[in-house]
Amino acid sequence: MIEITLVKEFKGKDLVKIFEKKYGSMDSIKRVFERGKGNVKLELDLDDWKYFLKHTNELVRETKIIYTENPEITMKDISLLSFIKNQKPQSIKELADLAKRDISTIQRKVTILKNEGLIEIKNGTKNRKVPIFNYDKMEIAI
Amino acid sequence: MRFKKIEGKKIHVRESNKGWTIIILPNYIKIDCYQGFTNIRFKSGGISIPVIYDNLEMIIAIIKKHIISYRTINNLILIKKLIGALND
C-alpha cells in the first residue's frame, strides 16, 4: 500500500476559475447539486464558489491524499511529472520529445498517471491532449 | 478473510481563512469546522454530528489510520472514533 499526498496553494480567484472550467456556471452546479441528493462535495464547491467570488485574493491550500495498491510508477514517471509541471507540454507528443522517449510509451505512462489520479488531461487545440500536473508538493509514503 | 482493495480511497482537504473541510471519498463524508465546532456529515443537509477533536492534523491522522487498518472506510467505526466513543 502506498500513500501519495499532493499539495497545492493558490488564490481564491484561481479556485473560481477551476470551478468555472469544471462546472460551467454557478447555475449548472446548483442544478447538479439539486439532482445529486445531498452530495457533500458539490455542496462544498458551491459554498466555496460563492465565498471566493468575494475573497479573490485569499490563499487556499488543497491537499489530496490518494491510496494505491500497486502503483506502476517509476522514477522515470516522476521525471515525467516534473516535465509536465515545469515545461508545460501542450501535447503528448511534445512531452515525449521533452522526455526523449517513444510516444506510445509516453501515451501509456500518461494513462497510468491519470488513472492514479496524479495528472489531469485537458483537451487542447487540434484535438491535442494536454497533460496537467499543477501541484506544488508531492509526498510518497509506504 | 477477503482481501480488501484500498484503491480509490481519497482524502481531500481544503483550507483557507474561512476554515477547513475534509471530504472522504468514495463515501462522501464531510468534516468541517465552519459552524464554530468540528462536525461530521454524510449528506448535505443531513444530521451534523459533533467531533471531539478540533485539530485538522489530528483528524487527518485518525482517518489515515482508519483507512490503513481496515483497508476500507467503515462509516460507523470512523464516527465512533471521531466522537470519542471508540478508542484504539
| Residue-level pLDDT at A91 | 94
Structural domain span for residue B40: 2-82
Asked whether residue B2 carries a pLDDT value surpassing 60, the answer given is: no
**Percent of the residues in chain B that have a pLDDT greater than 70, as a whole number:** 93
Average pLDDT of chain A is: 90
Which are the contacts of A41, defined by CB distance < 8 A and separation ≥ 6?
Answer: B12, B23, B25, B28, B30
Q: Do B67 and A67 touch (CB under 8 A)?
A: yes
Q: Is residue B29 part of a domain?
A: yes
Measured CA to CA, the distance from residue A27 to residue A38 in angstroms comes to: 17
Amino acid at A33: F
> Into how many domains does chain B fold?
1
Q: What is the pLDDT, as a whole number, of residue B1?
A: 41
ipTM entry: 0.89
If you search the block for the grid coordinates 466513543, which residue do you land on?
Answer: B85
Which residue in chain B is spatially nearest to A7 when comparing CA positions? B13
In this structure, is residue B24 part of a structural domain?
A: yes
Confidence of residue A112 (pLDDT cuts 50, 70, 90): confident
Question: Coil, strand or helix: which one is B76?
Answer: helix
Higher pLDDT: A48 or A1? It is A48
What is the pTM for the complete model shown? 0.86
Categorize the per-residue pLDDT at B18 as very low, low, confident or very high, splitting at 50, 70 and 90. Answer: very high
- Whether B87 is in a domain gets the answer no
- Give the integer Cα–Cα distance in Å for A108 and B1: 34
Cβ–Cβ below 8 Å for A40 and B42: yes
- The residue of chain B nearest to residue A38, with distances taken between CA atoms, is B44
Mark yes or no for CB contact A60/B16 under 8 Å.
yes
pLDDT at A142: 82
Q: Which of A41-45, A66-70, B48-52, B75-79 has the lowest mean pLDDT?
A: A66-70
pLDDT > 90 fraction of chain A, expressed in percent and rounded? 66
The pLDDT, as a whole number, for residue A117 is 82
Instruction: Tally Cβ neighbours within 10 Å of residue A23.
Output: 19
Residue B88 belongs to some domain of the structure:
no
